[in-house]
Structure 1
Amino acid sequence: MVQKKRKHQKSFWHRIRFKYKLSFFNEATLEEVWSFRLSQLSAFVVLAVFAFFLIAITSFIIIKTPIRNYLPGYLDVEVRKEIVQNALKADSLERMLAVQKLYLDNVAGILTGTLPLDSIRTIDSLAHADANYEIPRGKVESEFVKKFEEEEKYNLSVLTPNSVPTEGAFFYKPVSGVISSHYEAEKRHYGVDLVAAERESVLATMDGTVVFTGFDVNYGNVIQIQHRNGFLSIYKHNELLLKDAGDRVVAGEAIALVGNTGKLSTGPHLHFELWYKGSPVNPEEYISF
């Protein structure tokens, strides 16, 4: 039995290594023009090498050329970031067209005399109004203000006003969400946690300049914006940052996308902090979440 098995194996190797001759003859003279010898094993090796090089060349072409962008699910982070930025630019362009249309309508109304000059308000930013605009007081309001000023003339409490000036400042809600954790300075939690949908736009709370963008192990992608009157806003655990340090932003402009980055994050949310001249303040005292 063992000899029969060995004989079968020997016959198998002999068969696949046996060389066959392929010849080409001249039909008129029956002269052999060209011939070569090839075994089954050699043919398999040649086909395997050819298939390997074909797969390698195809993979190289797909990886090194734009063809890879047409493969399902192959879009990388940079391409997705570009798509998001283009969508935001399209939204900004639509907003600016609306502002320009309102401006032209106001100019046309002034030139035709159908629009009073006193009704014109600032339209260069839809997020805040002109702080210097004063609404004319009526007779009843003027009498009330005069009476109130007389009653409060000797009130000593006016000598210790709020140390954080907010006159003329409008704070934009950074994201639409639910507060999951409140401001607790004694627990070193200097902001509020807002649970929101993943990849929802994070908005700048006021006009300002981006002073920091980067990644922190605990807080993930972080962006900080310096505002007027000494305010500084901080946005943590973002999925993607849309601005770089030095960029100017306006209130309500998208600066990042809600994410779940950093060791201290347990789900998609935004950790929002508000600081004034180096000290943290409770954002809920300035923004209605």
Structure 2
Amino acid sequence: MTYCGRFAPSPTGLLHFGSLVAAVGSWLCARHAGGRWLVRVEDIDPPREVAGSARAILAALPAFGLVADAPALFQSQRRDAYDAAFERLRAADLVFPCWCSRAQLAAEGGMHRDGRCIAAPEPDRPPAWRLRVPDVTIDFDDAQQGPQRQNLRDEAGDFVIRRVEGYYAYQLACVVDDAFQGITEVVRGNDLLDSTARQVWLQRCLGLPTPAYRHLPLALDAQGRKLSKSGQAHPVDPAHPMPALRRALAFLDVQTSTHADSPAALLDDALARFDPARLPRLAARTS
């Protein structure tokens, strides 16, 4: 099977250094394998979106030499696919409606574990929908972080796949779109490692293929916090891409020449020296 990787930013702010590291890492892995590299805009949470950020991110990537092999896929245009997946789960009795309040969930330890809602149905209020999670342990081998094991019932419980507002949750949309785009390896930040077992289980429930996974170390600020848009991480400057691109490659422990004079030349030089086995495993401060 031809390798296919992807970078999937959420449009909740401008491209920052942590996201650039993930984009560069996924691009290098795809090109090293002689495969395709795609971009997906995960715009399924309108209340969190920042106007114009999707357009800005898509414009910034080529400025850093990161050119996708197909037009970007927007999750906001994929509602029919998520509806179809949801109906398959509902037909198999794998989901249930939930009207629980936060207080009720807190009394249950913050999660459901019994496959049914503990609150009384409220016909005048739409429910969230949760996946019934059995007592099952998911094992997978992460290419960067090593063997992983998670008991879904104990550590995730019956998790939400469609929210009260009608928006589909990240876990379902991600699984459906990775299969649709033919992703063979998911290369992303280590903050999403905990989501992987839930996604593997959803893939099994929907009869979808399970890609390989590689979770890259996180870029931290001077206080040891993950760089993120919600944490007001400073955006990288696509008008002057070389400094941030060199920093991203150095963070990934990829050696480069000092003579490259453009992002494309720098990435070509990095790719010639790139070895996935040398990628770092632990998070590191960037300042």
TM-score normalised according to structure 2 size: 0.20
Higher relative contact order (CA 8 A, sep 6+): 2
